[in-house]
């Protein structure tokens, strides 16, 4: 897990399985584990602003969110019209210039809204890999 700078796990079963993995390329293993793959609705790549330093680009972030958490996020987006709710999905380390990166990533995430709605309906996990 040395190459993974931030790992956010909601589900205990997934967390336990990940802890058992010894390979440094944990994100690659997760993508190819059948037991994980069948629970994932999709894999999304979201752009990270070009201004992020080379040091930041070397890092990998794997964030797994449960459908319950996504449902709460969608509620906040739709009912409260809070577009900045997207920011909760990502670790703060992704943003070097808050005003620029947050807006950039937020816009990218808005395109994933239908995917998230489907995740809630099918009660599947959504993995964001960036």
Q: How far is CA 72 from CA 9, 12, 28, 64, 98, in A?
A: 16, 19, 28, 15, 24
Q: H or E stretch including 8?
A: strand 4-8
Taking only the tens place, the pLDDT of each residue in 15-57 is 556 556 655 444 444 444 445 444 444 444 444 433 343 444 4
**What is the average per-residue pLDDT within 108-122?**
68
Q: Mean per-residue pLDDT for 118-122?
A: 72
pLDDT band at 127 (very low <50, low <70, confident <90, very high): low
0.85 surpassed by pTM: no
Residue holding tokens 């380390």?
93
The pLDDT of residue 95 is: 52
| pLDDT at 56 (0 to 100) | 44
pLDDT in tens, 52-109: 434 444 445 556 676 677 777 777 777 766 666 666 666 555 555 555 556 666 666 6
């Amino acid at each position: 897990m040395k190459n993974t700078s931030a790992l956010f796990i909601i589900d205990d079963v997934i967390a336990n399985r990940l802890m058992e993995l010894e390979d440094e390329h944990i994100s690659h293993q997760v993508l190819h584990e059948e037991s994980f793959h069948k629970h994932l609705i999709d894999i999304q790549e979201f752009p990270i602003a070009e201004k992020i330093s080379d040091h930041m680009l070397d890092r990998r972030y794997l964030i797994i969110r449960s459908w319950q958490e996504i449902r709460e996020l969608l509620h906040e987006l739709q009912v409260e019209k809070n577009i900045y709710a997207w920011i909760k999905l990502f670790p703060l380390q992704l943003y070097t210039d808050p005003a620029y990166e947050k807006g950039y990533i937020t816009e990218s995430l808005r395109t994933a809204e239908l995917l998230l709605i489907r995740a809630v309906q099918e009660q599947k996990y959504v993995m964001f890999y960036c």
